[in-house]
Chain A
Amino acid sequence: MKGIQEQMRARARELLAQGAVQMVIGWEKGTFWYLSPPAFVTDPEDCDRLVWDEFCTNNLAKYLLDYKHTGDRIALFVKGCDARGIVRLLQDNQIDREKVYLIGIKCPGVKDGRQAAALGEARRGEVPLAEKCRYCTHPEPVLYDELLAGDAAAREAAPGEGRFAEVAKVEAMSPDERYAFWTAAYDRCLRCYACRNVCPACNCRECIFDRSQSGWCGKQMQRSENMFFAITRAMHVAGRCIECGECERVCPEGIPIMALNKKIIKDLNELFGEYEAGVDLEKMPPLGQYKLDDPEEFH
């Protein structure tokens, strides 16, 4: 993937040197070989920090919210899921398209950093695809200003089957089993809000979970409050989840958050017709539009 990395650095350098953008957001090497965390470059001389490898996992779209009140124009490298995150933010009028310059990368799928750590660098070639990439339907960016020519072709979109496999497992449970499954998962929840903070569909200026005095949800880390958080978060991203899987990846407790998100996606598909969030700027989310022939009666 060297070719892409060199193009990344060259384009970042050009854009910064020309003053076309004030910042480039990409990835750089982290503490270990299996970590390539987000990088923020403002100096054209500093662009050799940027890397492109199989651990460029983080979805970068959300960071644009940090700069929405600045005058800065920002260049961002986008994989399939990053680009869908951008579409999502644009549809919510969170960012100004003119202030963003998108450099697309055909994504071959990123690798699982945690399993990489367990396998060791000598077995780098055996590191499996990250869970979040296994059922990716759009490895190529759906929106970009330019596309880097890759020497590694993006993989074919993953086949549809399997995308809802975890949902099917939970659906097959009895109500009691399902209750036990979700309470066991969310009893572990630390309420660290990593899932919320990484999510490109979570863009409220102020989240109710940062307003514990409002009385909606207590700060107690206990089952009732944790479940309220879980359900509220899931319902709030309903129809807007782009399936980037970042919430589940960043959860320190390994809560199967995507099973919840995908259940809602599956239900929405069945109720309102197939819809994939963040793919088409013009196609509004099913719960974000009004239709006279809405299948749900509305009086």
Chain B
Amino acid sequence: MLKIIRDKLPELLTAWARGARVLVPRERGGTRVFLPWEGEGELALGQGNTLEPPKDLFFPRTETMYRYQVQGKDASLAEEPAADARQVLVGVRSCDAKSLAIMDDAFLTKGYVDEFYRQRRENTRVIALACTEASPTCFCTAFGIDPGRAEGVDVQMWPVEGGYLLEAVTEAGQELLRQAGDLLAEEGDAQPPAAAVPPLQVDVSGVTEKLQRMFEHPYWTAVSRKCLGCGACTYLCPTCYCFDIQGENQGDSGYKFRCWDSCMFSEYTRMAGGHNPRPSKKERLRNRFLHKLQYFPERYGKFACVGCGRCLDRCPVNVDITRVIREVKEVTL
């Protein structure tokens, strides 16, 4: 196993930043988010999750899809330049690493490949950082995620006394560690530290089957009463991938863009004629949970929740997905 001393980590990031954009948790406005590393400044790897998940780096909040120009009776389209810049994402927790596999299912499988997503995904190397301390809102283990070792990443890091242990998982990961040169030292007998034990536990077994019979259950009225109908939960969720496509027209030219959208908003399901099949927050909140716990498992064989706890942490009214799972399992049909 290789080790880097803590003070040398910025040098390693700088080495990786030659030829790639390195993104790492840093402080911004009192919170921690993945920000580009430009050779100097403070890192905020800390413990626990960043405020925002890294999904924005693969699926930006807003991205232009193409531009158009109209001249008389002719129209021309211009493709956007490919998003082919290399990215190295450092300090991804196991929950967020798992969320990438979930996003891959949605964007890359079942017969359609989303090129915007694919380009960024293929051009990004992911370096995970194991959790040795859990936040009160963490429950990744409920979904079989190991906070001590992430799946689907290129390099795994562990925090240890004075620095970090590193282990390459893929070919690309080995290449990244080779780039580190003598910043890394061999620590033959070093053992990864014990993984964090998330304090929040919930048993998700059987919840999909129960939900399949609960669409019209009065539970949804009760649980949705306090919901404000804001989109904080969906926008901070690492696995919420809904988007809207709209155009911005300026005279003879314009562009089509896509941007994040949230099933918690009224506009999300409003049809052209004005009808809204999800007219109130009851139907919208129900959809959010059914998507994560029923529809996605039915389609892809896995839950669309990774137990990162961001929704629970930031919900203004404490809508708690673990509590919803427990209550769903308890209600009588």
Contact = CB atoms under 8 A, between A and B. Distances in A.
Interface of A: 30-32, 35, 37-40, 58, 62-63, 66, 117, 184-185, 188, 190-194, 196-198, 210-213, 218-222, 246, 249-250, 252-255
B114 interface: no
Given A37-B226, A252-B51, A31 B29 contact: no
Contacts of A184: 29
Question: What 8 A-B pairs come out closest when comparing CB atoms?
Answer: A250-B316, A194-B230, A37-B318, A30-B318, A221-B61, A192-B231, A197-B228, A192-B232
B230 A192 contact: yes
B302 to A, nearest CB: 24
B220 to A, nearest CB: 13
A253 B31 contact: yes
A219 B231 contact: no
A202 B51 CA distance: 26
Given A185-B29, A192-B231, A253 B316 contact: no
Contacts of A254: 29-31
Contact of B235 (A62, A190, A246): A190
B11 interface: no
Contact of B316 (A32, A212, A249): A249
A38 B317 contact: yes
A164 B200 CA distance: 40
B28 A198 contact: no
Nearest to A246: B316
B78 to A, nearest CB: 18
B34 to A, nearest CB: 13
Nearest to A58: B317
Given A210-B266, A211-B267, A253-B29, A222 B235 contact: no
B271 to A, nearest CB: 12
A38 B267 contact: no
17 contacts: A31-B312, A31-B318, A31-B323, A32-B136, A35-B318, A39-B226, A63-B226, A66-B225, A190-B232, A190-B236, A194-B228, A196-B230, A198-B230, A210-B266, A219-B244, A219-B259, A255-B29
Contact of B232 (A63, A185, A220, A250): A250
A186 to B, nearest CB: 11
Given A30-B320, A192-B231, A221-B260, 20 more contacts: A30-B318, A31-B312, A31-B323, A32-B136, A191-B235, A193-B265, A196-B230, A197-B228, A197-B230, A210-B265, A210-B267, A212-B244, A219-B259, A219-B261, A220-B257, A220-B259, A221-B61, A250-B232, A253-B51, A255-B29
B298 interface: no
A35 B265 CA distance: 25
A218 B265 contact: no
Contacts of A193: 230-231, 265
A186 B235 CA distance: 15
